[in-house]
Structure 1
Amino acid sequence: MRISFWCSNGHETQPSFAGDAQVPDTWDCPRCGFPAGKDRDSPPDPPRTEPYKTHLAYVRERRSDADGEAILAEALAKLRGEI
């Protein structure tokens, strides 16, 4: 049997299933990759993607500028042999 699934971009896909198979609630759209549902008028929302962050951006979320200055001063002191 063929079941229709629609994504939020309006794409329709009709995968084939065996008559006794359990049909999933969602299916990945082969055109855009968004999740597709069986209800044409209310398709699943597309996944929310976070923008790429560098390692430095994650560090800045966890540390203040004062923390960074203290860590840098400690590392420079070690390199200079002061510690």
Structure 2
Amino acid sequence: MAGGNAIRGSRVGAGPMGEAERGDLAERHSVVYWCANGHQTRATFAIGPSTEIPEQWDCTRCGYPAGLDADAPPSPVRNEPYKTHLAYVKERRSDEDGSALLDEALAALRARRGG
């Protein structure tokens, strides 16, 4: 006797799959971006009244910026090396300014010590 339960093997809330169950999908537009290494990245955007397609997108393979033109992709961003505090000070001050500040600080230190 094949008895049984009519809902055996299904889960609660299971029903027919399809557009009627979940609603209509938004209209989409697929865009291809190219990086300096020649990688192709495809991004899909929903089309709407305020949709703007970005000019650049990060490559999913190498992380370089990718552009819409395959013949002229954007150049990779050059990362600046770590700078110390002294390097930033040297950018703002000249050697003459540094000497003047040092002389002023030494004069103040000598005056405090009484020498």
Per the normalisation by structure 1, the TM-score is 0.72
Which of 63, 86, 101 matches 1:33?
Answer: 63
Distance 1:66 1:22 in 2: 52
Give TM-score scaled by structure 2 length. 0.56
Give the unaligned 5+ runs of structure 1: none
User: Could you list the runs of 5+ residues in structure 2 that have no partner in the other structure?
Assistant: 1-28
Aligned-residue Cα RMSD (Å) equals 2.2
Distance 1:76 1:14, change over 3 A: same
Q: Which of these residues, 66, 72, 95, is aligned with residue 65 of structure 1?
A: 95
Q: Give % identity.
A: 60
Which residue type is aligned with residue 22 of structure 1? E
Higher relative contact order (CA closer than 8 Å, sequence separation 6+):
1
| Structure having the higher Rg | 2
Aligned equivalents of 1:24 and 1:65: distance in 2? 45
* Structure with more strand by fraction: 2
Count of equivalent residues:
82
